Amino acid sequence: MSSTIPYETASTTADQPLANLLFDYPDADIILRSHGRHFRVPKTFIVNNSPILGELIRRTLGSPNDANAEASLPVVQLPDSSEILRCLLTFIFPVTPLVPSTPEEIMELLSVAQTYQMDSVLTHIRDRIARRNSLPTSLEPALHIYALAQKYGLRPEALRTARTVLNYPMTIEDFDNKLDIMPGAALYELWKYHERVRTILASDLKEFRMFCAGGTVTGLRCTKLSSSQIPYWLDQYIESIGKSPNLFDYAELNIAMARHTKDMASQPRCECASIPSHTIRDFWDALGSIVDDSFERAKSALSLVREREDFRAQIDSSQYKSFDIPDGNFIIRSSDNVNFHVHKSVLAMASPFFKDLLSLPQPPDSEFVNGLPVVQLSESAELLNSLISILYPIRTVIPNSYEKLLYLLAACQKYEMVSVQTFIRSEVMRGGEFPAPQGAEAFTAYAIASSKGLIPEMENAARQTLNYPMTFEFLGEGLRLFEGWALCDLVNFRRRCRDNLVTCLDSYLKLKPPGPSRIWLSCPEATSMAYRNRVLPTWLNELLSRNQNSLKLQKFTSPLDIHSRTRGEYFVALRSHGNCNSCLGVHITNG
Ligand SMILES: [Zn+2]
Ligand SMILES: [Zn+2]
């Protein structure tokens, strides 16, 4: 145990084994207990610092049946980890403050302080971690802490780490195997913040380029100056920061300058290689304060996931008032509080889940409406309405979107309604009313299907996504529905498909082993090429290698729908190949 905690185990009593007493303050009048560990403290300190704990203590002291009568002092039970609680108490009492050693534990400490509404303690802890620079600066740890800050709803830490993340390029490809660090909802907020920062930066930097930068880098001679008389390369560099904030880095400036001076080595009119170091420093400071300002203004653009969810929950209202099936003997209640009167026997027949649930004795605290027991479900009224319409001999209500259909399938999966699920898959989904999801909806469908374990729909949607670019821009709000692992899986799926395509094109482009390209050998161009290990006529060879190269370069920014894309280019290329009867013949018979 750390020696920085004074008053530790000052006294031992029979009911307080030494090892379990982590904190013993003079004049203690209550015991806080967490996971078997005890903290003897005077309650006034706690009550003054936390309205939440104050209320909890008042209730514990006021309860007549004190379950902890055997202890020497009243005991208040807390759910938090005892190590975190110990650190928390060091910020309440006049003792040496104890900050946990890992950023993860620091986040937990902040989260506990926030939960108990200890405002001054929060400030105190934050001062301390700011002085120690306890938050990470490299990408992967920053993403982890950002994810925790989002999870616990700690805005200052989410902002600090989000800014750190922006020191790195932000694309799906760059994040790659780090995509499973956080749920899509937190990643979406990071992306929105990133977009907002770029917008603000771009406009601030534009102004800087026009009016201010010239002041810090005046009198420079270069072959090409911008309209505001600063070297053109420098102007370009400043502009690039607005597109990728990670380029605001002294090393990047030096790289840009080195590239320029190398190009201009023989140009006497360029003096960029000999810019005085104090000029560069002044320029960098001026640029830095613009960037800081922009980030400051972008602060409000970072939302916490939980705030957005609260907002969504508020605007959600239902058009269903209640749903009565005559002589129902049981009520299921939707997430938006609509009661559905149904029959136990019907639900039990359709669903082993409900059969088990209904065979259990009614819990003592269960709710009754008009004498009927109520079971609260997490599905919306709209969804339950559809589900019940399939169970009963009434007009089937089919959801009006593919997305809602997926949620209906998910509810069937959860309640083990196998035959209902089969009915939806065979009757509804194959009916043509719900074609495969298109565009960004393919990604949304994949996200929902994967999180709900709907394998056929997940595979189908994954294939569909290949027809579209996979970027943060394209995914948009759909990103919020992704589980981290699902996004990672989809990236890997895309990479595998890309690799397969590249290999497949390889087999067309090479003569050995004899591949599917033999059929083109009759073209006079191809036969003359054969000795160069090429078998395809030049026009086709060029077309396929061009596609192969673009596949290697852009697996995420372009669609992978090689078939439809190549087909169009194939016809154009064939036509421009001219009047080669041989190729036309092959095209007509085998193309
Ligand atoms: Zn120059
Ligand atoms: Zn030909």
Q: How would DSSP label each residue in 324-355?
A: E-TT--EEEE-TT--EEEE-HHHHHHH-HHHH
How far does residue 9's CA lie from ligand 1's centre (Å)?
A: 71
What confidence score (pLDDT) does residue 194 get? 93
The C-alpha atoms of residue 569 and residue 543 are separated, in whole angstroms, by 7
How far does residue 166's CA lie from ligand 1's centre (Å)?
A: 29
How far does residue 528's CA lie from ligand 1's centre (Å)?
A: 50
The C-alpha atoms of residue 445 and residue 462 are separated, in whole angstroms, by 9
DSSP for 468-526 reads S--SHHHHGGGGGG--HHHHHHHHHHHHHHHHHHHHHHHHHH--SS--GGGGGGGSHHH
**21 membership: H or E segment, kind and range:** strand 21-24
How far does residue 115's CA lie from ligand 2's centre (Å)?
A: 74
The C-alpha atoms of residue 396 and residue 386 are separated, in whole angstroms, by 7
DSSP for 360-378 reads SPPPTT--EETTEEEEE-S
The C-alpha atoms of residue 577 and residue 537 are separated, in whole angstroms, by 9
Which one of the ligands is nearest to 221 CA? Answer: 1
How far does residue 462's CA lie from ligand 1's centre (Å)?
A: 50
DSSP 225: B
Tokens in use for 306? 């939980």
Which one of the ligands is nearest to 265 CA? Answer: 1
Backbone angles phi, psi at 552, to 5 degrees: -65, -35
How far does residue 551's CA lie from ligand 2's centre (Å)?
A: 26
How far does residue 264's CA lie from ligand 1's centre (Å)?
A: 7
Which one of the ligands is nearest to 217 CA? Answer: 1
Which one of the ligands is nearest to 230 CA? Answer: 1
What confidence score (pLDDT) does residue 152 get? 94
How far does residue 559's CA lie from ligand 2's centre (Å)?
A: 30
How far does residue 546's CA lie from ligand 1's centre (Å)?
A: 36
What confidence score (pLDDT) does residue 6 get? 42
Tokens in use for 135? 């938050």
Residue pLDDT tens, the chain, 591 long: 333 444 433 343 444 445 667 778 888 889 999 888 889 999 898 999 999 999 999 988 877 655 545 557 888 899 999 999 999 999 998 888 999 988 899 999 999 999 999 999 999 999 988 888 778 889 999 999 999 999 999 999 999 999 999 989 898 888 888 999 999 999 999 999 999 999 999 999 999 888 876 677 777 788 888 888 888 899 999 999 999 999 999 999 999 999 998 888 777 788 888 888 888 888 899 999 999 999 999 988 898 988 876 655 554 555 666 667 778 888 999 988 888 999 999 999 999 999 998 888 877 777 888 888 899 999 999 999 999 989 988 888 888 888 899 999 999 999 999 999 998 888 777 777 777 788 899 999 999 999 999 999 999 999 889 888 899 999 998 999 999 999 999 998 988 888 887 777 777 666 554 556 666 666 666 655 554 555 666 777 777 777 777 776 666 777 766 566 666 677 777 777 766 777 777 776 665
What confidence score (pLDDT) does residue 250 get? 92
The C-alpha atoms of residue 243 and residue 235 are separated, in whole angstroms, by 13
Domains assigned to the chain: 18-134 (3.30.710.10), 195-301 (no CATH), 317-435 (3.30.710.10), 485-590 (no CATH)
Q: What angle do CA 411, 413, 416 make, to 5 degrees?
A: 105
Which one of the ligands is nearest to 263 CA? Answer: 1
Q: Which residues contact 580 (CB under 8 A, 6 or more apart)?
A: 523, 524, 525, 537
Q: What angle do CA 403, 440, 568 make, to 5 degrees?
A: 125
How far does residue 212's CA lie from ligand 1's centre (Å)?
A: 19
Burial class (CB in 10 A: 0-12, 13-18, 19+), 445: buried
DSSP for 266-316 reads T-TT--GGG--HHHHHHHHHHHHHHHHHHHHHHGGGPPPHHHHHHHHHHH-
What confidence score (pLDDT) does residue 203 get? 93
What confidence score (pLDDT) does residue 319 get? 65
DSSP 138: S
How far does residue 229's CA lie from ligand 1's centre (Å)?
A: 12
The C-alpha atoms of residue 294 and residue 284 are separated, in whole angstroms, by 15
Q: Mutual orientation of helices 184-207 and 277-298 as an angle, nearest 10°?
A: 130
**What SS3 class is residue 210?**
helix
How far does residue 285's CA lie from ligand 1's centre (Å)?
A: 21
Percent helix / strand / coil, the chain, rounded to 5: 60, 5, 30
How far does residue 546's CA lie from ligand 2's centre (Å)?
A: 18
What confidence score (pLDDT) does residue 317 get? 53
How far does residue 540's CA lie from ligand 2's centre (Å)?
A: 9
Which one of the ligands is nearest to 537 CA? Answer: 2
Nearest to 294 by CA among 160, 216, 199, 161: 199
